[in-house]
Amino acid sequence: MQKKIIVLNGPNLNLLGTREPDTYGTTTLDEISALVATHATGHGLASDFRQTNIEGTLVDWVQEAGKSADGIILNAAAYTHTSIALHDAVSAIETPVIEVHLSNVFAREEYRHHSFISDVAAGVICGFGATSYILAVDALAAMLRNN
Ligand code: DQA
């Protein structure tokens, strides 16, 4: 059966394209969604791509993906640095989660250096702009091939 990955995006990522382009680039979230879909198809994976500004919705989606998806790519945006609820949701599921960030959070403000996701994620990719998502698809595809 075809394996499925789901990409979950948190607050303000709907503004990509115009939001702080020096930090996040000019690629829109719709463009990233299209790139991910094409790349996932190339790996033989089905994909779903979502964005919300609401923390609880991200928690709901992580729980849902824990049952319905084989792998998760999570850019929790600012909730990365604040959300114990998301940490607990990722801990509660077996499905592997790759944490991604467009920017290199370690080269930015100190409050972005801590993530509540990293210690429960399968891996972390940050700093490559939209390519972070593509690298995460490659990482999940490799993990799922070995399963
Ligand atoms: C981000 C980094 C976070 O620190 C920030 O709050 C974001 C985006 C990134 O993709 O670089 O909204 O997750």
Q: Is 101 a catalytic residue?
A: yes
Segment 113-132 mean pLDDT: 98
> Residue 13 and residue 131: Cα distance in Å, rounded?
15
Q: Which ligand 1 atom is at minimum distance from the Cα of 24?
A: 11
Distances (CA, A) of 56 to 25, 63, 76, 83, 97: 27, 11, 12, 10, 18
Does 146 have pLDDT greater than 90?
no
Catalytic residue among 39, 101, 114, 133: 101
pTM of the model: 0.97
CA distance 26 to 16: 7
The structure tokens listed for 70 are 């084989």
The 10s digit of each residue's pLDDT in 13-60 is: 999 999 999 999 999 999 999 999 999 999 999 999 999 999 999 999
Q: 3-state class of 46 per DSSP?
A: strand
pLDDT beyond 80 at 79: yes
Domains of the chain: 3-145 (3.40.50.9100)
Mean pLDDT of the chain: 97
Q: What percentage of the chain carries pLDDT values higher than 70?
A: 99
* Residue 81 Cα: closest atom of ligand 1: 4
Q: What is the mean pLDDT of residues 93-106?
A: 98
Question: Among residues of the chain, what percentage have pLDDT more than 90?
Answer: 98
Q: Given ligand 1 and candidates 12, 73, 75, which is best to mutate, with the most ligand atoms within 8 Å of its CB?
A: 75
Shortest-distance Cα residue to atom 3 of ligand 1: 77
What is the average pLDDT across 67-86?
98
Which of 102, 104, 118, 135 best tests ligand 1's pocket when mutated (most atoms within 8 Å of CB)? 102
